[in-house]
């Protein structure tokens, strides 16, 4: 009966045969549609699951690890923090505003489905260089989408990243991280239980949004031809509906009215019902006739696979239903009983789909949720790996004008983040534009606490393109340093792995190497991975994006009652460089993979600097403790601090100078190589007590060198750069605006 | 016994908790008021806080102004009670006709969340009574439709009667005459686009909003004492 | 009788229209350098029951004035036509 329908749904002949085997018969069209979406790459992770198993996921603070809707960490004082990162890449390439907006909506639901109130969002974004109308359209649309949804739903966006590289021109990346907090006893899992319990659909009506979207859209690259036809698949978000949904769901949880709850995201009701049933080891009967519709004449398979936004599935005891209805009415949230949990000994664990009285589909729930095929796709490194690694830019001629090249690397991202509410909840102590976001651990419904939470998102595709394994380790190290600069100790990692076509063996090699590099680095820093997301098929006409793992790292602060030293220079202060200044071996200042080499010289290959994880951890702990002194109200030997990362020492110094409105005179920098190297494990400190700082660094096993003094109207690195601070500030301030709004 | 200030919650409002926190730092007792309430018994002042009531659909504040609670707010204002509209709240007050003018899209057609500096240009209101005229306060803005407009006649009247209570030192949105906040004829109804509750704690940036909130709380205490 | 109503809401004369201006500025790059005077507005549609056209116009106008347009900054134009008995639009 089905013939080759399965292929149109993205299933292979082998997968079809497997379904026949599971069911003991041919699947009908509805059942085929269920498998089509649930076994799609985006929903099942069939190409990556084999590798993701190698990530370390346990830790003493981990309350919930990967496999649920969000990772949850015990933050102390009876408060738990939920964190997740996700991608919405393919929809954003088609309709940037709504693609990004619904990406925000989706990740918020993953957080509040755990019982956590979403408190902060971060948005790492990747585009082609914004010099053409299309790239500007994508960037403006994505930013306006995140702004309009996040601001309206009432969650501040407290940081993010903006990366430009030609490899993203056809495949923009829109990753969104969300952090939430909850009283530990409000934690709830996405699990159905209790035969006879009701499955209640909350929120928006169901239409044809995204039919085949997530499965088809995210599991196929862009061929360049049929993109116009893909336009109808993009969902439109309603942040007002989501705001009411957040309040209603948290209120239901506070009132103890819910046994389990799950958000509807990719694959809609098919996913929510099968996953909650499978997790709880139960079955579920679903009546599509009971689902409130937005469109007339929807077929059962459309109702089951619709990706209409702003919907949740709650499992509720029959006795609680009147109270649930009343509470939802108060919040003006639609609530409909669409199914029941079944514990049928004769036919356990079945997902039975009815349309009124007729059974139109009957499959084992776990087969949809857990038994998707696991692929071991072929992988091998690029054939010219050795040649690429030896094509190293270290030792190239010094620039004629270091100052001009330094200025070219400076970008003020405030054009983006001023469009985001970053202040709601009165928690944002350090917001966008700094090393990491630092927030009070507070919010409506939380027990009082003086603790703080910090979060950063970091990535470096230029490093990962050279060496995915070493590159991702350097990214994690950078995140750890960023957290240290706001006084936080890292406790958990989430990852968003954005890669090209997994049918290309080189891409699978990149993915596998990234997983191993991340696993090793997490073990070295003692950090668990508590969740992640994989986005594959980011390719256009056969060209894959650079491997782009994005890491979200969560940190904790014991006591946050005063502001930290800013990412800025204070006039009159002494500038100290903490950390080893030179790499071991022949190249003390390696330039492979540096922004300078890539952006100013077009040199993408070479060798990455090595990471000494133990030394890095020592440096991070030392810096974090100095900053934490200030946070706890005890003052600090630091009056300014900044991690040295993208662009190197010159960029970090310039960023501090511009932020503080202070010039600086620095000496002893060893040529352009030391100015632009991205050697890890270095932090810039401004201090009024350099002797004390250096003594404490020595005691902590951290190298320290005084390099200059802040103050005056000029930014000078002896022998390399001497410009007015005003000129440097103008470069920095105008960099993005100039490209986005050409006169 | 401190003044009791009600903070109205419309569907989509999101600054209510922050506003209560800030009012309590300013010495009041804050209490949330649901949009369906038809009475404001026991309240000494009312605040319509920031957020996105009804998603800002149709026009910001256009639907919220018809909420049941607004009839009570209008009676409260008519009776001389202090009423403050912050951002979305200011939009609701103009839509309801409790304040003149309207708020339209920012000149740059983009949302702006940024620090701003406002100057107290009149002390004849419940928000600025007792604050030094000419004082500059660092209070952030956070809006897409914050540009204040009114016709020439209204503008002249506002200027002549000291009802422009706050002006931007650097106009972030194109508001006519750099207007950031206005008051009613009697001075008991005030609306402003900047968020004083977001400037009530130095830990998160500034506490320059407290003098304004204290003025409001003082006016409310005056109502209580009366 | 059933009426199909369309209300068009426009900014009043003298109110700045940055949306319309931005659209107009973008047109030459698309090859439309012969276009001027762009204004941006919105349109609302609904069905209304009324005894006759005059009554329908009155009700629609009231809805437009009270809710759909803000009279401080916007004007509203109402267009309506009767719907055929079967509900099919003519």
Write the pLDDT tens digit of every residue in A552-566: 999 999 999 999 999
- Indicate yes or no: CB of C22 within 8 angstroms of CB of B174: no
- Measured between CA atoms, how close is C24 to chain B, in angstroms? 15
∠ CA A320-A323-A328, rounded to 5°: 120
Name the neighbours of C, counting chains with at least 3 Cβ pairs within 8 A. B
User: What is the spatial distance between Cα B173 and Cα A582, in angstroms, rounded to a whole number?
Assistant: 49
Both structure tokens of A217: 């859209």
Under 8 Å CB-to-CB from B125, ≥6 apart: which residues? B163, B165, B183, B187, B188, B190
What gap in Å lies between CA A314 and CA A249, rounded to an integer?
Answer: 9
Three-state DSSP at C82 gives: strand
The C-alpha angle with vertex A218 and arms to A217 and A221, in degrees rounded to 5, equals 80
Parts of chain A with a pLDDT under 70: 1-3, 212-234, 743
Chain B nearest-CA residue for A154: B14
- Mutation choice for B interface testing from A100, A245, A424, A444 by most B CBs within 10 A: A424
The answer on pLDDT for B132 being more than 80 is yes
User: What b/e sequence results for B200-221 when a residue is b if at least 16 CB atoms lie within 10 Å of its CB, and e otherwise?
Assistant: bbeebbbbbbbbbbbbbbbbbb
CB B186 within 8 A of CB B124: no
> Which tens digit of pLDDT belongs to each residue from A302-311?
999 999 999 9
**B-chain residues within 8 Å CB-CB of C14?**
151
Phi, psi dihedrals of residue C67, rounded to the nearest 5°:
-125, -50
Identify all chain B residues contacting C67, using CB atoms and an 8 Å cutoff: 58, 62-63, 66
Residues of A with Cβ-Cβ distance to B201 under 8 angstroms: 426
In whole angstroms, what is the distance from residue A196 CA to residue A282 CA?
11
Q: Which residue in the set C15, C16, C67 is minimally distant from B62, CB to CB?
A: C67
Structure tokens at A436: 């990491």
Q: Which of A183, A153, A318 is nearest to A245 (CA)?
A: A153
| B14 → closest Cβ in A154, A332, A560 | A154
Of residues A147, A152, A426, nearest to B204 (C-beta):
A426
| Touching subunits for chain B (3+ Cβ pairs under 8 A) | A, C
Residue B113 and residue A735: Cα distance in Å, rounded?
Answer: 20
Q: Give the helix/strand (H/E) hosting A462.
A: helix A461-466
**Cβ contact A169:A433 at 8 Å:** no
**Cβ of residue A51 closer than 8 Å to a chain B Cβ:** no
User: What distance in Å separates residue C85's CA from the closest CA in chain B?
Assistant: 31
Give chain A positions within 8 Å (CB) of B112. Answer: 418-419
Question: In Å, how far are A98, A254, A280, A284, A296 from A200, measured between CA atoms?
Answer: 27, 17, 16, 12, 21
**For testing the chain C interface, which of B66, B98, B101, B102 should be mutated: the one with the most C CBs within 10 Å?**
B102
Task: Answer yes or no: do A152 and B55 touch at CB < 8 A.
Answer: yes
Q: Which of B26, B72, B13 is nearest to B200 (CA)?
A: B26
The span from the CA of A611 to the CA of A584, in Å, is 11
How many cross-chain Cβ pairs, A to B, lie less than 8 Å apart? 88
Tell me the HSE value of C30 on the side-chain side, using a 13 A CA sphere: 8
Chain C environment of B150 (Cβ under 8 Å): 72
A276, A284 contact by CB (below 8 A) = yes
Task: Give the pLDDT of residue A212.
Answer: 57
**Chain C residues within 8 Å of chain B (Cβ atoms):** 14-16, 18-19, 22, 67-68, 70, 72-73
Q: Judging by DSSP bridges, how do beta strands A198-203 and A311-316 pair with one another?
A: antiparallel
Mutate to test the interface with A, among B11, B20, B113 (most CBs of A within 10 A): B113
How confident is the model over B151-178, as a mean pLDDT?
98
Task: Give the residue from B149, B155, B175 with the most C CB atoms within 10 Å of its CB, the best one to mutate.
Answer: B149
With tokens 């585009």, the residue in question is: A127
Strands (E) across A459-573 are located at: 489-498, 529-535, 539-540, 543-544, 548-557
CA dist., res. A567 & res. A559, Å (int): 20
At A72 the three-state DSSP class reads: strand
Residues of B in contact with C68 (CB under 8 A): 58
- B103, closest residue in chain C (CA to CA): C73
Amino acid C25: pLDDT: 82
Cβ atoms of C4 and C49 within 8 Å: the answer is no
Question: Is residue A123 within 8 angstroms of chain B, CB to CB?
Answer: no
Query: According to the model, what pLDDT value does residue C46 have?
Result: 97
Domains, chain B, ordered by start: 4-225 (3.40.50.880)
Q: List the single residue in A with minimal CA-CA distance to B111.
A: A419
What does the pLDDT read at residue A225? 46
Q: Provide the pLDDT for residue A743.
A: 60
How many contacts does B have with C, using Cβ atoms within 8 A?
Answer: 31
Yes or no: say if A545 and A168 are a contact pair by the CB < 8 Å rule: yes
Chains contacting A (3+ CB pairs below 8 angstroms): B
Angstroms from B141 CA to nearest CA on chain A: 9
**Across the strands, what pairs with A341?**
A284
Beta strands in A20-168 (DSSP E): 62-64, 71-76, 79-87, 117-127, 157-164
Nearest to B55 among A240, A417, A563 (CB): A240
Q: Nearest chain C residue to B106 by CA: give it.
A: C18
Closest Cα in chain B, distance from residue C39 (Å): 14
Which residue in C72, C74, C76 has the most chain B C-beta atoms within 10 A of its own C-beta, making it the best mutation to test that interface? C72
How many Cβ atoms from other residues are within 10 Å of residue B173's Cβ? 24
The least confident of A463-477, A670-684, B189-203, C14-28 is C14-28
Cα B93 to Cα A358, B54, B87, B189: the distances in Å are 54, 15, 10, 9
Output the pLDDT for position A219.
Answer: 55
Residues of B with CB under 8 A from a CB of A: 11-12, 14-15, 17-18, 21-22, 51-52, 54-57, 110-114, 140, 142, 144, 195, 197-198, 200-205
| Tokens at B60, concatenated | 């910001």
Active site residues of A: 42, 88
In sequence order, which residues have a C-beta less than 8 Å from that of residue A3 and are 6 or more positions away? none
Distance from CA of A495 to the nearest CA of B (A): 28
Classify domain C2-83 by CATH number: 3.30.1280.10
Q: Min CA distance, B49 vs chain C (Å)?
A: 21
Q: How far is A735 from chain B (nearest CA, A)?
A: 19
The confidence score (pLDDT) of residue A228 equals 42
- Asked if the model's pLDDT at residue B45 lies above 50, the reply is yes
CB of A332 within 8 Å of a chain B CB? The answer is yes
Question: Residue A308 and residue A294: Cα distance in Å, rounded?
Answer: 10
* Cα-only R_g, chain A: 26
Q: List, as ranges, residues 108-127 from B with C-beta within 8 Å of C.
A: 108-109
Report the distance separating Cα A342 and Cα B17, nearest Å. 41
- CA–CA distance, C38 with C21 (Å, rounded to integer): 7
Which residues 197-226 of B have a C-beta within 8 angstroms of C?
none
Q: Are A272 and B87 in contact (CB under 8 A)?
A: no
Q: What is the pTM of this model?
A: 0.95
Q: Do B113 and A422 touch (CB under 8 A)?
A: yes
Shortest Cα distance, chain A CAs vs residue B49, angstroms = 12
Q: Which two tokens stand for residue B145?
A: 């439709």
Q: Does B101 contact C at CB distance below 8 Å?
A: yes
ipTM: 0.97
Q: Which token pair is A237?
A: 């978000």
């Amino acid at each position: 009966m089905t013939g080759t329908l399965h292929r149109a749904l993205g299933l292979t002949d082998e997968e079809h045969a497997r379904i026949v085997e599971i069911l003991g018969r041919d699947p009908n069209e509805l059942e085929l549609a269920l498998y089509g979406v649930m076994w799609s790459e985006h929903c099942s992770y069939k190409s990556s699951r084999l590798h993701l198993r190698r990530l370390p996921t346990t830790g003493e603070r981990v309350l919930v690890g990967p496999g649920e809707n969000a990772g949850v960490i015990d933050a102390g004082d009876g408060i738990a923090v939920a964190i997740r990162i996700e991608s919405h890449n393919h929809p954003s390439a088609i309709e940037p505003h709504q693609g990004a907006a619904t990406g925000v909506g989706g990740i918020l639901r993953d957080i509040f489905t755990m019982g956590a109130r979403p408190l902060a969002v971060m948005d790492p974004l990747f585009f082609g260089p914004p010099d053409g109308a299309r790239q500007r359209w994508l960037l403006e649309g994505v930013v306006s989408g995140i702004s309009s949804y996040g601001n309206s739903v009432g969650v501040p966006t407290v940081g993010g990243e903006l990366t430009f590289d030609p490899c993203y021109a056809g495949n923009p990346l829109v990753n969104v991280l969300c952090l939430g907090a909850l009283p530990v006893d409000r934690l709830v899992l996405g699990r159905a239980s209790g035969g006879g319990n009701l499955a209640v659909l909350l929120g928006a009506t169901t239409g044809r949004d995204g039919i085949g979207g997530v499965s088809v859209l995210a599991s196929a690259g862009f061929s360049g031809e049929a993109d116009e036809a893909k336009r109808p698949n993009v969902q439109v978000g309603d942040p007002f509906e989501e705001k009411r949904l957040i309040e209603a769901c948290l209120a239901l949880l506070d009132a103890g009215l819910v046994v389990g709850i799950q958000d509807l995201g990719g694959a809609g009701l098919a996913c929510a019902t099968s996953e909650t049933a499978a997790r709880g080891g139960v079955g579920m009967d679903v009546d599509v006739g009971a689902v409130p519709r937005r469109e007339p004449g929807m077929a059962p398979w459309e109702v089951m696979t619709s990706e209409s936004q702003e919907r949740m599935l709650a499992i509720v005891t029959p006795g609680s239903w009147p109270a649930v209805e009343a509470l939802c009415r108060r919040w003006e949230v639609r609530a409909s009983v669409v199914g029941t949990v079944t514990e049928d000994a004769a036919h356990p664990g079945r997902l039975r789909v009815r349309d009124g009285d007729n059974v139109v589909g009957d499959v084992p729930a776990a087969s949809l949720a857990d038994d998707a095929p696991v692929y071991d796709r072929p992988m091998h490194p690029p054939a010219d790996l050795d040649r690429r690694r030896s094509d190293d830019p270290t030792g190239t001629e010094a620039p004629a004008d270091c100052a001009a090249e330094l200025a070219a690397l400076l970008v003020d991202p405030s054009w983006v983040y001023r469009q985001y509410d970053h202040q709601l909840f009165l928690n944002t102590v350090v917001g966008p534009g700094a090393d990491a976001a630092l927030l009070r651990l507070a919010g409506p419904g939380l027990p009082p606490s003086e603790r703080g939470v910090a979060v950063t998102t970091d990535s470096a595709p230029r490093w990962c393109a050279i060496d995915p394994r070493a590159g991702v380790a350097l990214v994690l190290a950078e995140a750890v340093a960023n957290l240290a600069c706001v006084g936080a100790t890292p406790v958990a990692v989430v990852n968003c792995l954005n890669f090209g076509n997994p049918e290309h063996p080189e891409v699978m090699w990149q993915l596998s190497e990234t997983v191993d590099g991340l696993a090793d680095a997490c073990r070295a820093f003692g950090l668990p991975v508590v969740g992640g997301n994989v986005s594959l098929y980011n390719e256009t006409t056969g060209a894959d994006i650079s491997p782009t793992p994005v890491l979200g790292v969560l940190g904790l602060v014991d006591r946050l009652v005063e502001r930290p030293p800013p990412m800025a220079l204070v006039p009159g202060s002494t500038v100290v460089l903490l950390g080893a200044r030179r790499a071991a071996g022949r190249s003390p200042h390696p330039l492979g993979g540096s922004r300078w080499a890539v952006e100013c010289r077009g040199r993408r290959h070479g060798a990455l600097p090595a990471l000494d994880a133990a030394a890095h951890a020592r440096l991070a702990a030392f810096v974090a403790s100095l900053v934490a002194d200030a946070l706890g109200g005890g003052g600090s030997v630091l009056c300014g601090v900044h991690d040295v990362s993208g662009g190197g020492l010159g960029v970090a110094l310039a960023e501090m100078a511009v932020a503080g409105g202070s010039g600086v005179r620095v000496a002893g920098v060893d040529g352009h190589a030391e100015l632009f190297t991205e050697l890890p494990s270095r932090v810039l400190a401004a201090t009024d007590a350099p002797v004390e700082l250096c003594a404490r660094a020595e005691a902590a096993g951290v190298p320290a060198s005084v390099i200059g003094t802040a103050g005056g109207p000029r930014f000078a690195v002896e022998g390399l750069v001497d410009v007015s601070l005003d000129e440097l500030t103008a470069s920095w301030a105008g960099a993005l605006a100039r490209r986005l709004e050409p006169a | 016994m401190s003044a009791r200030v009600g903070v109205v919650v419309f569907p989509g409002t999101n600054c209510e908790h922050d506003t209560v926190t800030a009012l309590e730092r300013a010495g009041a007792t804050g209490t949330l008021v649901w949009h369906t309430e038809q009475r404001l018994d026991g309240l000494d002042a009312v605040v319509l806080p920031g957020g996105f009531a009804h998603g800002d659909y149709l026009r910001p504040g256009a639907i919220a102004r018809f909420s049941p609670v607004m009839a009570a707010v209008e009676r409260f204002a008519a009776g001389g009670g202090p009423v403050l509209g912050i951002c979305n709240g200011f939009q609701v007050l103009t839509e309801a006709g409790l304040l003149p003018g309207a708020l339209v899209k920012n000149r740059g057609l983009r949302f702006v969340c940024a620090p701003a500096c406002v100057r107290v240009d009149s002390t004849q209101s419940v928000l600025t009574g007792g604050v030094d005229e000419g004082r500059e306060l660092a209070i952030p803005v956070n809006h897409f439709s914050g540009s204040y407009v009114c016709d020439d006649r209204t503008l002249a009247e506002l200027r002549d009667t000291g009802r422009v209570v706050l002006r931007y030192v650097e106009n972030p949105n194109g508001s006519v005459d750099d207007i950031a906040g206005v008051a009613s004829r009697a001075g008991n109804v005030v609306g402003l686009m900047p968020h004083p509750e977001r400037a009530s704690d130095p830990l998160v940036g500034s506490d320059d909003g407290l003098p304004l909130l204290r003025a409001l709380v003082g006016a409310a205490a005056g109502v209580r004492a009366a | 009788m059933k009426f199909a109503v369309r209300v068009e809401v426009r900014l009043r004369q003298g109110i700045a229209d940055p949306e319309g201006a931005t659209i107009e500025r973008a047109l030459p790059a698309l090859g439309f350098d012969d276009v001027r005077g762009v204004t941006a507005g919105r349109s609302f549609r609904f069905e209304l029951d009324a005894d006759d056209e005059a009554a329908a116009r009155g009700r629609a106008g009231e809805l437009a004035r009270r809710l759909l347009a803000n009279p401080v900054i916007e004007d509203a134009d109402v267009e309506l036509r009767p719907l055929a008995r079967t509900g099919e639009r003519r």
